[in-house]
A = this chain, B = another copy of it.
Amino acid sequence: MVHPYRVAILGATGAVGTELLELLEQRDFPLVSLKLLASARSAGQTLSFKGDHLPVEAVDEKSFKNIDLVLASAGGSVSKTWAPTAIASGAVVIDNSSAFRMDPTVPLVVPEVNPQAAAAHRGLIANPNCTTILMAVAVYPLHQVQPIRRIVAATYQSASGAGARAMEEVKTQAQAILQGQTPVAELFPYPLAFNLFPHNSALNEQGYCEEEMKMINETRKIFEAPTLRVTATCVRVPVLRAHSEAINLEFDQPFDVAQARSILNNAPGVTLVEDWQANYFPMPIDASGKDDVLVGRIRQDLSHPTGLELWLCGDQIRKGAALNAVQIAELLAQQNLIQPSIALAN
């Protein structure tokens, strides 16, 4: 019952864009055509898809004609510019930017958590922040059994969260340091190799950065829990790929650790990684390229009778961005929520 769709990727040459391409192929998404869109600067490149070399086209007013589904990952300003055009052309847009996430008319969807929210879309569905997605997948299964009252999170975010070039910058800085030279920071405000710093997104008057506010506000929206108490400290670390998070959860009643472990061992999108004998728990190098969020070190919080501590790592480009978007697309396809615009176009 799944129609094949005419799909476009906006921002096809970026870190998330190339991952989207790979996932559409790997997961055999039902498509009849795939158009790769990017800025004029990237146009003319080709990217391979199922054995073909597809050209990257510069996005313009006509790009979305005869397109059913747009996977957008080219930043907030690009999405604000082109999403209305795509929707007006009859496409459904799944947008990875932060531009529309907190718009009350736009569903913000993690398929493992709130698939039901997708049905209300008006042509646009927002893909949440990467750090937020990883946390949501890991803690929502517990929240379903007993509502979480408060989350205290500290993050360890990899360089590639700022894009493929940021990852290269860290490598270049590391090489410089190893050769006794002074590292140069261009994309990041400070050297990141062998260093770390609080997340460099804009700070609000309360002293929280945008990344932290995304974790707070988006989690509330995804969980449909507007009073959920969340605080976070987001930190950029010299890891190439995959984010990690130390998460402290408070409930109203004690949450049995064995039960929590069992729930997470069976939760969608979660792999439990806990070898207590070997002191082996989730690590970024093991989470990189994986679909699942790796969760471990689940333990009773010694400072709070109704608290749990846990640790997670997840590939923020994959589950934190591209995979989650493709899963939303699959969800829409399965529920026939993408309205093919063929009739309109013909």
Taking beta carbons and an 8 Å cutoff, which residues of A are in contact with B? 150-152, 154, 156, 170-171, 174-175, 178, 189-191, 193-198, 200, 202-203, 206-209, 216, 229-231, 233, 235, 237-240, 244, 246, 248, 257, 276, 278-281, 283-285, 296-304, 307, 309, 311
Q: In chain B, what residue has the closest Cβ to A213? A: B302
B194 touches A302 (CB 8 A): no
A246 touches B154 (CB 8 A): yes
Contacts of A230 in B (CB 8 A): 302-303
A283 vs B185: C-alpha distance in the bound complex, in angstroms? 14
Shortest 8 CB-CB distances between A and B: which pairs? A207-B299, A154-B154, A231-B303, A229-B303, A233-B246, A154-B246, A195-B285, A197-B283
Contacts of A304 in B (CB 8 A): 150, 229, 231
Contacts of A240 in B (CB 8 A): 194
B300 touches A233 (CB 8 A): no
Contacts of A194 in B (CB 8 A): 170, 174, 238-240, 284-285
Contacts of A203 in B (CB 8 A): 276, 279
Closest beta carbon of chain B to A96's beta carbon, Å: 24
Contacts of A311 in B (CB 8 A): 198, 233
A84 vs B225: C-alpha distance in the bound complex, in angstroms? 59
Q: In chain B, what residue has the closest Cβ to A179? A: B175
A196 touches B309 (CB 8 A): no
B248 touches A231 (CB 8 A): yes
Contacts of A299 in B (CB 8 A): 206-208
A197 vs B282: C-alpha distance in the bound complex, in angstroms? 7
B279 touches A233 (CB 8 A): no
Contacts of A281 in B (CB 8 A): 197-198
A207 touches B279 (CB 8 A): no
Contacts of A307 in B (CB 8 A): 231
Closest beta carbon of chain B to A259's beta carbon, Å: 15
B154 touches A196 (CB 8 A): no
User: CB within 8 A of A207: which of B197, B200, B233, B298?
Assistant: B298
B237 touches A156 (CB 8 A): yes
B244 touches A156 (CB 8 A): no
A237 vs B283: C-alpha distance in the bound complex, in angstroms? 11
Contacts of A231 in B (CB 8 A): 248, 301-304, 307, 309
Q: In chain B, what residue has the closest Cβ to A310? A: B233
User: CB within 8 A of A284: which of B152, B196, B209, B257?
Assistant: B196
B233 touches A285 (CB 8 A): no
